[in-house]
Amino acid sequence: MEKKNIDWANLGFGYIETEKRYVSQYKDGAWDEGTLTKDSMITMSECACVLQYAQTAFEGLKAYTTEDGSIVTFRPDLNAERLQTSCRGLVMPEVPKEKFLDALDQLVAANAAYVPPYGSGASLYVRPFIFGINPVIGVHPASEFQFRMFCTPVGPYFKGGAKPLTIRVSDVDRAAPHGTGNIKAGLNYAMSLRNITEAHEAGYDENMYLDPQTRTKIEETGGANFLFVTKDGKVVTPKSDSILPSVTRRSLVYVAEHYLGLTVEERPIYKDELTDMAEAGLCGTAAVICPVGKIVDHGKELVFPAGMEQMGPVTQKLYDTLTAIQQGRIEAPTGWIHKIPV
């Protein structure tokens, strides 16, 4: 298949409109068959529930070209399951897993010319989302919904390699105890926009959010999970009911234990334990894992032993191994790689 005439090597991480997107309507208690459309615009009432009360959730995943030329996605079944969890949390109809995967197959196959070639460092970012579309003026859930999925080619999240980040301990809470922090609701991200803007203005790359109940335990950032490597070589990730269950983090933890033979712990991590850590990283679909070099807690600086110049050795091995699995250079665990029928 002939690829689009795109400068893949200099592709940024932004939106480029592709030829097709998937849309399905929920009405009278049922989903329709769904279809692909060339129209990238959405028409709705000014009183649509999503506009008035932010009843919406989304997902994010990528499609890659592997070494043998296949187009694949990475563990999309987990994205489908997580979207179902979000739907239950926001009183929206669940998108059946089979429907989600069928939409993904249709979308990526229809836009195969936009999937960057192997070795370019780029990928096709896929954004599924669902929202309440009928007019709602009283505070109650919508009764009609749209499930949509679009894609856009993106370059590597970090041009020229990932440089360790400097983050600050936030005074603002990301989520409430027993709230909706564990679902991928659009409003969760909107609520972090002011705080991340202020962090950037103050010279920081991200915010470290603490647990909202005691403010002693590490949770996550506005859009990524934490992963730490202790000074004695263990991989440790925070455990909390208000953290979004990252597909990337779960995959990195598996790689650490089953591919690299490391001891893994998922448990509450107290802020006071940061001095026991040798490396730190942020996990997510966009960057896979990004190193954290320094944490600033109200003027008190902590620089991890791995330093501010490059990824730590364990973080680098995790990154290299997982990306090799995604791109087909290392054999993946059963069910991790979903091949797109093109």
At 209-259, the pLDDT tens digits run 999 999 999 999 988 999 999 999 999 999 998 898 999 999 999 999 999
pLDDT given at position 109: 98
Q: How confident is the model at residue 178 (pLDDT cuts 50, 70, 90)?
A: confident
CA 98 to CA 224: how far, in whole Å? 27
Confidence of residue 162 (pLDDT cuts 50, 70, 90): confident
Does position 116 have pLDDT exceeding 80, yes or no? yes
Average pLDDT over residues 21-44: 98
CA distances from 123 to 179, 207, 329 (A): 34, 27, 16
pLDDT per residue over 260-314, tens digit each? 999 999 999 999 999 999 999 999 998 899 999 999 999 999 999 998 999 999 9
Are 17 and 109 contacting, i.e. CB atoms less than 8 angstroms apart?
Answer: no
pLDDT at 200 over 90: yes
If you search the block for the tokens 């234990």, which residue do you land on? 257
pLDDT tens digits along 136-150: 999 999 999 999 999
Q: What pLDDT is attached to residue 204?
A: 96
Residue 158 DSSP code: S
Measured between alpha carbons, how far is 206 from 197 in angstroms, rounded to an integer? Answer: 9
pLDDT at 175: 87
Whose CA is closest to 220, among 283, 134, 277? 283
Instruction: Give the model's confidence band at 158: pLDDT under 50 very low, under 70 low, under 90 confident, else very high.
Output: low
pLDDT at 161: 66
CATH topology of domain 8-154: D-amino Acid Aminotransferase; Chain A, domain 1 (3.30.470)
Which of 193, 60, 200 is closest to 125 using CA atoms? 60
Q: What does CATH list as the number for 165-326?
A: 3.20.10.10
**Cα–Cα distance between 81 and 70 in angstroms, integer?**
25
The residues of the chain that CATH labels 3.30.470.10 are 8-154
Q: Where in the chain is the domain with CATH 3.20.10.10?
A: 165-326
